[in-house]
């Protein structure tokens, strides 16, 4: 555990502009930690309360002060990420993910209709062979049954990610549909991240480094899961994406493309963007460009907000890291 002041002295707060609205935001704020072992990232979304955000801070500290685990592979297959855009915008979005053979499509967006989801998914199918969708827990069981039927009428889905909010709902839905169910929030936001697996509520586990407290914590969870794992980002900067790639590289087995291509959703990032090659991203540490850090620096009041947040989360780190 580094001293708090050492942590604050190493903090860089940035605001990354986004190409399209995603998770309801158009600017992604986060704090980077320039540590002795590399760069860490603390990017808990602003609405998250300190007990949840502390896990993200633990992840950033681990990355900045500890070495990454040994890699078993040097490149990771990634999926394209398609926000809840109009179907006509899909080709432009997919063009940012050259070579991707899998696409994750956001569905169940508030204010949109199921027909919008179907149109978007079908537009993706015309360009990418494997399609998965992510509802972020936005459906009831009955809505998910109806949506799954509509979304598979014109072609298969690899899986439906977090169609419903609770473990019980996921388990019920899994009994009622033929499509594979993936769990995301039911793992990363749960007091017990293994509960969804024990309940037989998912076929695929989506794991994210930062919400689980770091690479080592994610790998401990992964070691106790007997279903396929997909490593995904939490709308990370290039630094956080590097951590996700390192985690995916350390897994004993990796059957599916990972959701680590979300950097393509930013107008600008803290490091030069690395374009996927044949749908793969290379594994390796990321060092921010000083000029980009300066250009993307958040306003003084927002920097102070993140400093105050670190001070609030810091005392909660022992249970996060332990």
List the 11-22 sheet strands across, edge first.
11-22, 25-35, 38-42
Asked if residue 301 belongs to a known ligand binding site, the reply is: no
Asked if residue 236 belongs to a known ligand binding site, the reply is: no
Asked if residue 308 belongs to a known ligand binding site, the reply is: no
Distance between CA atoms of 92 and 267, rounded to whole angstroms?
A: 14
Provide CB contacts within 8 A for 290, sequence distance 6+: none
Which residue is catalytic, options 106, 146, 189, 311? 106
- 311 a catalytic residue: no
Distance between CA atoms of 105 and 320, rounded to whole angstroms?
A: 31
Which residue is catalytic, options 104, 189, 208, 311? 208
Provide CB contacts within 8 A for 21, sequence distance 6+: 83
Q: Which residues are identified as catalytic?
A: 106, 208
Binding site for Mg(2+), by residue number, is: 134, 161, 184
Binding site, by residue number, is: 134, 161, 184
């Amino acid at each position: 555990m580094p001293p708090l002041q050492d942590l604050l002295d190493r903090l860089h707060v940035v605001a990354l502009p986004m190409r399209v609205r995603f998770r309801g935001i158009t600017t992604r704020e986060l704090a980077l930690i320039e540590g002795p072992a590399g760069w860490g990232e603390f990017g808990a979304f602003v609405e998250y309360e300190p007990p949840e955000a502390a896990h993200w801070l633990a992840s950033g500290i681990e990355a900045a002060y500890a070495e990454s685990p040994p890699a078993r592979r040097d490149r990771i297959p990634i999926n394209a990420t398609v926000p809840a855009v109009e179907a006509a915008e899909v080709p432009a979005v997919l063009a940012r993910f050259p070579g991707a053979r899998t696409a994750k499509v956001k569905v169940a967006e508030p204010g949109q209709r199921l027909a919008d989801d179907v149109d978007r998914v079908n537009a993706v199918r015309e360009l990418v062979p494997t399609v998965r969708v992510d509802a972020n827990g936005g459906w009831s069981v009955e809505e998910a049954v109806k949506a799954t039927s509509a979304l598979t009428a014109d072609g298969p889905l690899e899986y439906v990610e977090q169609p419903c909010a609770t473990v019980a709902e996921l388990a019920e839905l899994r009994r009622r549909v033929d499509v594979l169910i993936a769990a995301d929030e039911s793992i990363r936001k749960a007091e017990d991240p293994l509960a969804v697996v024990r309940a037989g509520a998912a076929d695929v586990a989506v794991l994210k480094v930062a919400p689980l407290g770091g690479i080592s914590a994610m790998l401990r969870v992964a070691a106790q899961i007997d279903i396929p794992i997909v490593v995904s980002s939490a709308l990370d900067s290039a630094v956080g994406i590097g951590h996700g790639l390192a985690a995916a590289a350390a897994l004993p087995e990796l059957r599916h493309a990972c959701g680590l291509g979300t950097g393509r959703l930013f107008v600008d990032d803290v490091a030069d963007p690395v374009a996927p090659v044949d749908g793969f991203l290379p594994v390796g540490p990321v060092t921010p460009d000083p000029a980009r850090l300066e250009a993307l620096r958040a306003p003084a009041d927002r920097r102070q907000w993140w400093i105050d947040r670190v001070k609030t989360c810091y005392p909660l780190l022992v249970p996060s890291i332990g």
